[in-house]
Every structure is written in structure tokens, then in C-alpha cells.
Chain A
């Protein structure tokens, strides 16, 4: 299994809603990542988890809250988002933090904030 699975594929939420994005991989990878991608732009790194511990937080606003319940799962909890947070949110994994370039990406969750 060489897949990273993200759910939901599409999410529409209001600014007062609380929702979560989920990511799962069964490749035994120990590093997992959240990226944000706006239209016609490259992905921007948000968070990195290594061995289930948060190792990088790229100054992301607190309305985004990551969680890594175990080595296969990564969540991104969303609360009080703004319309400018509308984007494609990509999850990725790598064998470990020593292979940050060899990333396996999911298909993404397209988020629209109204």
C-alpha cells in the first residue's frame, strides 16, 4: 500500500464551524506533513510531525490545530477559519525526517470557507 488517503475530498464550512481534515497512511512512514496550496501556487508547509511529535510549525495561526493520534493518522482541526483560508490542504508522509524530500502526497482536501 503506497497511498496517503485524505478525507473529506471537499469541505465547505462557515466561519463559525469546527471541522477536521483526516489523513492516513499505512506505509510505516514516521514523518507526516500538512501543506496548504492556493490556486496556481506551490504548496506551503504548515506542520511536520516526526515519530508522532510536532517538530515544525511554520507560524501557522492557532485556528489550525494539528493532531497525530498514532503513526498512521494525522488530523487537522479547523475552527473559526477565514475565507482566505480556502485552499487545497495536502497531507504527505516520508519514511522519516531524514527523507523530507521523498514525499508521498495524498489527493488533498479542498476547503471552502464561506
Chain B
């Protein structure tokens, strides 16, 4: 079955880079996503990557995908206090199958 694992906590200093890691079990996963959830709010799609890509960059965000190791990472450059949130990794086998979410990584940014 599908399973998505993430470390639960990450703490970084303001201005440093953050790297949030995720591993998934299903090698058939076609789409991989990163969502952000701020306290008391819903989830916000940050970025996504298709399984035929190795890397995707979008402003301060860089997603790296290692299909061999089934490892996905999200790098946030120049981390700001506003980046403090829970980050969920999610996978989907195809465009029309429901997402499987990881447990989320709580990022704390220290000023």
C-alpha cells in the first residue's frame, strides 16, 4: 500500500536554508506534492513534481526527486519567520486518485 513518511520537526535560523525530507513507498507514484499549513488554516499547495522530473525550482523553493530511493525533498532558501508552518508531502498514483499525505513536518524558524 501507499505510505508517506516525514520527520516530524525541523528548526532553522532565519536566513538559513531549510530542507524537509519525505520518503514514499509506492514506486508507481506519478505526482508528488508539497502542501503548507499555517496555524488555524487550511492547506496551501506550494509546488508539485511529476515522476519524470528530477528537480523543480520555483523562486525560493526547490524540489528534488530521487526516484531510485523514493525520496523527495523541499528546500526553502533564505527561510523567513513567515515560513513557520507544517509542511505535508503527498503522493498520487495518477491524476485522479486521492492524495496520500505524510504526517507533516513542523518547521520552526528562529529569528
Tell me the A residues contacting B by CB distance below 8 Å: 4, 40-43, 45, 48, 56, 90, 92, 97-108
Contact = CB atoms under 8 A, between A and B. Distances in A.
B88 interface: yes
Interface in B13-52: 31, 33, 35, 40-45, 48
B43 A103 contact: yes
A66 to B, nearest CB: 15
Interface of B: 31, 33, 35, 40-45, 48, 88, 90, 92, 95-99, 101-104
Given A43-B43, A90-B43, A106-B42, A100 B96 contact: yes
Contact of A102 (B45, B88, B101, B102): B45
A40 B8 CA distance: 10
B3 to A, nearest CB: 12
Contact of B96 (A41, A42, A97, A103): A97
Given A100-B92, A100-B99, 7 more contacts: A45-B99, A101-B45, A102-B48, A103-B35, A105-B43, A107-B40, A108-B41
B92 A101 contact: yes
B95 A56 contact: no
Given A98-B96, A101-B95, A4 B102 contact: no
A100 B104 CA distance: 19
B61 to A, nearest CB: 16
A56 B98 contact: yes
A42 B98 contact: no
Contacts of B35: 103
A43 B44 CA distance: 12
Contacts of A56: 98
A105 B35 CA distance: 10
B34 to A, nearest CB: 11
A42 B88 contact: yes
A110 to B, nearest CB: 8
Contacts of B102: 42
B98 A4 contact: no
Contacts of A105: 42-44
A43 B35 CA distance: 11
